[in-house]
Amino acid sequence: MTDQTTTFRYDLMGQVIGITAARADLWPSFDLMLGSLRMSEAVESGFRVNIVETAELPENPEGKLAFDGEVPVDGHCRMIDAGAVFHLIFPGLQTVSIHDAERWAEVRVHPDSKIKWTLLMMVIDAALDAGGQHMLHTAGLTLPGSEALVLIHAPSGTGKSTTSLALASQGFGLCSDDVMILAATPEGVTAWGMPRHVKIHRNTAAMLPFVSPCLGDTWNAEDEQAVSLEQLGEIIRVEDVRARPIAAVLHLARSADGETRLPPLARTDAMVALAADNVRTGMTGLMPLQKRRMGTIAALVKTVPTFTLEVGRSPADAAALIRQALPG
């Protein structure tokens, strides 16, 4: 590091993460995800991230091999569990060493490499965990006329974004279509939405024509367009970023006969479904952060009702069913 280093800070609902690097373009991935949470004042960081651009990458740290294989989009990596330190290594490209107890991480990036999504999410995960919060792969929407949230869970490609936008067209408020941050306290479990762009698939656009004013003519290789929350806010209600109480968890499934239903789901089944999509296991078993995430999931399904949302031909039909099931 030189005396030209700069630090950006982001407020993760009370947990401040500070990103320090010699050049701002070394952390564009962080700003893309957290840009709207950036802080202008210089306050003490609860979790620090130092980004170093260097050809010297510590690719063989001591510790137990927790993972060695391919991750979606980013390619081959290794994860090393060294007890007090956890390492993620993309050979020849970049590494990160996360010091949980000391609340800091060091990212080392080869000059020809850009920070990968997997590494970014692992660092944000660690920063949230240090503040008693955990990231879950769910959508979140406020009920009409209420601050309370429903969380909609499903593996990627099942229709969370389509269902979320359909509910938003019926008076629900969109917090996130994909990533919610949860915190379990003695008073209950609250959640807030990561303020990132919504990826709208071509099929979603055809099913929900009201989103067309937000779309252009260009689709990516996955037949998607990324739409900002500001753009969506012109046609639906997009909620501000703050923690809200959770009213229910809905596990999304496709209806076999085209009809939309909302039957109750056993809490144990809801917990299994959430854990399967959100809790990672490795060669060394569950790591401490994953155990704490599992505890948050357990607290969630213990305190709120759980349902299966079977979505049929018209996802907007789910709105009336949810209102009936959660009249409060």
Q: How far apart (Å, rounded) are the C-alpha atoms in residues 253 and 325?
A: 17
Closest of 244, 225, 194 to residue 36, by C-alpha? 194
Question: Do residues 181 and 199 both lie within one domain?
Answer: yes
User: How much is the pLDDT for 328?
Assistant: 64
Taking only the tens place, the pLDDT of each residue in 214-267 is 999 999 999 999 999 999 999 999 999 999 999 999 999 999 999 999 999 999
Q: How many domains does the chain have?
A: 2
Question: Do residues 61 and 83 both lie within one domain?
Answer: yes
Question: Do residues 148 and 259 both lie within one domain?
Answer: yes
Q: Name the pLDDT band for 139 (thresholds 50, 70, 90).
A: very high
User: How much is the pLDDT for 191?
Assistant: 97
Question: Do residues 268 and 288 both lie within one domain?
Answer: yes
Beta bridge partners of 138: 153
Question: Do residues 59 and 200 both lie within one domain?
Answer: no
Question: Do residues 17 and 116 both lie within one domain?
Answer: yes
Final residue before a domain boundary, out of 104, 131, 158: 131
Please answer whether residues 260 and 40 qualify as being in contact, where contact means their C-beta atoms are separated by less than 8 angstroms.
Answer: no
User: How much is the pLDDT for 281?
Assistant: 84
Question: Do residues 70 and 175 both lie within one domain?
Answer: no
- Residue 113 domain boundaries: 6-131
How far does the chain reach from its first CA to its final CA, in angstroms? 54
Please answer whether residues 52 and 107 qualify as being in contact, where contact means their C-beta atoms are separated by less than 8 angstroms.
Answer: yes
What average pLDDT is seen over the chain? 93
Q: What percent of the chain shows pLDDT beyond 70?
A: 98
Identify residue 120 by its one-letter amino acid code. L
Question: Do residues 162 and 102 both lie within one domain?
Answer: no
User: How much is the pLDDT for 102?
Assistant: 96
Q: How far apart (Å, rounded) are the C-alpha atoms in residues 86 and 80?
A: 6
Final residue before a domain boundary, out of 83, 112, 131: 131
Count of CB atoms within 10 A of residue 23's CB? Answer: 11
CATH of the domain at 266: 3.40.50
Task: Tell me, yes or no, whether 215 lies in a domain.
Answer: yes
Task: Tell me, yes or no, whether 1 lies in a domain.
Answer: no
Show Cβ contacts of residue 143 under 8 Å, excluding neighbours closer than 6 positions. 149, 150, 172, 247, 322, 323, 326
Task: Tell me, yes or no, whether 183 lies in a domain.
Answer: yes
Show Cβ contacts of residue 158 under 8 Å, excluding neighbours closer than 6 positions. 252, 253, 254
Final residue before a domain boundary, out of 111, 131, 151: 131
